[in-house]
Copies of this chain bind each other. A is one copy, B any other.
Amino acid sequence: MYEELEILLRRLCFSVKVAGRKVLRDFDITPSQFDMLQKLFFKGEMRLTDLSEELGITKGTASGIIKRLVDYGYVKKVKSQVDKRVYNLSITDEGRKVIEEVINKRVEYIRNIFSVFDESKKKSFLEQLKQLTNIIENK
Taking Cβ atoms with an 8 Å cutoff, the residues of A that contact B are: 1-6, 8-13, 15-17, 30-32, 55-57, 103, 106-108, 110-111, 113-114, 116-117, 121-122, 124-126, 128-133, 135-137, 139
Contacts and interface: CB of A to CB of B under 8 A. Distances in A.
18 contacts: A2-B110, A3-B107, A4-B126, A6-B107, A8-B126, A9-B12, A12-B13, A12-B129, A12-B133, A12-B136, A13-B13, A30-B57, A31-B55, A31-B57, A32-B32, A113-B132, A117-B128, A124-B128
Nearest to A106: B6
Number of copies: 2
Interface of A is mostly: helix
A15 B106 CA distance: 18
